[in-house]
Amino acid sequence: MTGPTKGIAIIALAVIVMVSLNIAMWRRMRGGLAAAKAEQAANPELFDEDGSRIS
Percent of all residues in the chain with a pLDDT value above 90, rounded to a whole number: 35
Does pTM surpass 0.75? no
pLDDT digit string (tens) for 23-49? Answer: 988 888 888 888 888 888 888 888 887
3-state secondary structure the chain: CCHHHHHHHHHHHHHHHHHHHHHHHHHHHHHHHHHHHHHHHHCHHHECCCCCECC
